[in-house]
Chain A
């Protein structure tokens, strides 16, 4: 009977309905304002939902008139509530930033389409996190893939189109595999609801082990494609580097995350630890994650364009998330979720800042960004904060997740992987710090640059500052967040 229980559903419905009223509107200003207002309202609703979960605990929400085996249910616990707040708030700030940058990057008659796609994208991502029904999650995944392709290709340049085609082909392969996993799972359990599938699997008592193994591996590969697990990440650098600035921030900060959460739910909620532990699937995820950390960082060092470098850094950071899942203990899983939060905030900040640098200097190359610290000191300062978080300096969230991941690794007794984390952090220093150092210091490249000549107007920097504030807050209040995630896991 409580109204606050409806908020997750209302957010998704409002985002979808408001998206389709945008093509009817005429003026661009109105469309932008409308997109921003709907996203802020959903942020407020997500915040209320979070407070409700915090006081009353987790709850199941029945969508429509039918109960679980027939209808769809939402499961709203701590993790889902935190993700709801995170996604809506980051999306609001990115939309705010995009007011000033989007006109220069895409044609004017496509702006309504752009905000339509963003609203649909965020709505489907939230739906994927909230839902408790496997097939519903699949449909939301497809919607988010198509909308994600849309916000890449909307720039309509050569690179965008080929990158989008690559993304579309690989992710349709992934979605085929996910549907295959559902098709293997449905006949032996007879349910699509996650908790009911878990009960049926437990009732099987060890029968049909091969089918379960096939199913869990197709799910892992399929969701791994969507969230750039190491050997399947080939679409990511092209897609994220060629997209418009605000799209890159959304794609890298938000779109990669819900498939991982869905994978966690499938591994630990649908199959349960007993069954997963008896297969080797967690070790595979662990090894792929750690290879991804190293290879992503090395590839980032070799890049010459700054956006491609940050995109490869995303591959490395997703490696940490998969590493945390693959450890197979509670702390590892908590840190995987915490790293999702910290990466979402940090990477969207970095992409926005880098987009501003590219716009002002007119070059994508790293070597042209030398001496940028004299021209745009505040912007490079924000970039430095993000880089420090990525590398893992105390106070910032990146440090906390790396430290705790190392602790979790020691807990399992696999000391070799602690070295992997250290090596990957050192490699992170190798590609973030040269930009910062060459930007601020260095004798020869500062000549001829006028101090603060290209500084951004203050109104454009406000959303970036709020994002940085969120990042620092995530680091400072990390113990509370970790505590809440731990309660949510049970």
Chain B
């Protein structure tokens, strides 16, 4: 329990991951599915950035007249930036598909779409 409280970034990330995962899989509404996907991605980014953060260290940028002793690990940050770009493109693609689904079926509820496909 104490370990969970001291590593609260990781704990929060895992809770968010669970929320996003359940939303992605169990919700019938397509927009809510996409929101769940985004929450899941964000939780992973939070987890990754938290893993790279070192308490008391600064961002790795050179500035004149400013001496920094140690840096935060920049690689997780860079990776998360790439991950954000990927997540943005997937979200945009999924939203455009949702628009097309709405045009074709007239609804974005998954069970109603299944019903319409059945007959």
Contact = CB atoms under 8 A, between A and B. Distances in A.
Q: Taking the complex as a whole, does A directly touch B, i.e. does some CB pair lie under 8 Å apart?
A: yes
Looking at chain A's contact residues, the main secondary structure is helix
Interface string A166-204: 001100110110011011001100001000000000000
A175 B117 CA distance: 28
A165 B101 contact: yes
B75 A142 contact: no
Looking at chain B's contact residues, the main secondary structure is helix
A146 B51 CA distance: 28
A390 interface: no
Contact of A165 (B30, B40, B52, B86): B30
A158 B37 CA distance: 23
Given A176-B40, A179-B44, A164 B83 contact: no
Nearest to A142: B86
Contact of A186 (B51, B86, B94, B98): B51
Interface residues of A, number: 25
B97 A161 contact: yes
B104 A158 contact: yes
A153 interface: yes
Contacts of A468: none
Nearest to A165: B97
Nearest to B96: A153
B37 A192 contact: no
Interface in B47-80: 47-48, 51-52, 75-76, 79
B113 interface: yes
A156 B98 CA distance: 13
Given A165-B98, A165-B101, A180-B44, A187 B90 contact: no
A183 B51 contact: yes
Contacts of B94: 165, 168-169, 172
B11 interface: no
B15 to A, nearest CB: 14
Interface size range of chain B in the complex: 20 to 34
Nearest to B48: A183
Contacts of A169: 24, 33, 37, 94
A218 B97 CA distance: 27
Contacts of A162: 101, 113, 117
A175 B30 CA distance: 19
Interface in B1-54: 17, 21, 24-25, 30, 33, 37, 40-41, 44, 47-48, 51-52
A135 interface: yes
Nearest to A179: B44
Nearest to A141: B86
B37 to A, nearest CB: 5
Interface of B: 17, 21, 24-25, 30, 33, 37, 40-41, 44, 47-48, 51-52, 75-76, 79, 82-83, 86, 89-90, 93-94, 97-98, 100-101, 104-105, 113, 117
Interface of A: 135, 139, 142, 146, 149, 153, 156, 158, 161-162, 164-165, 168-169, 172-173, 175-176, 179-180, 182-183, 186-187, 192
Given A182-B79, A183-B48, 10 more contacts: A158-B104, A165-B98, A169-B94, A173-B24, A176-B37, A176-B40, A176-B41, A179-B44, A182-B48, A192-B75
7 nearest CB pairs, A to B: A183-B48, A187-B51, A142-B86, A161-B100, A158-B104, A165-B97, A176-B40
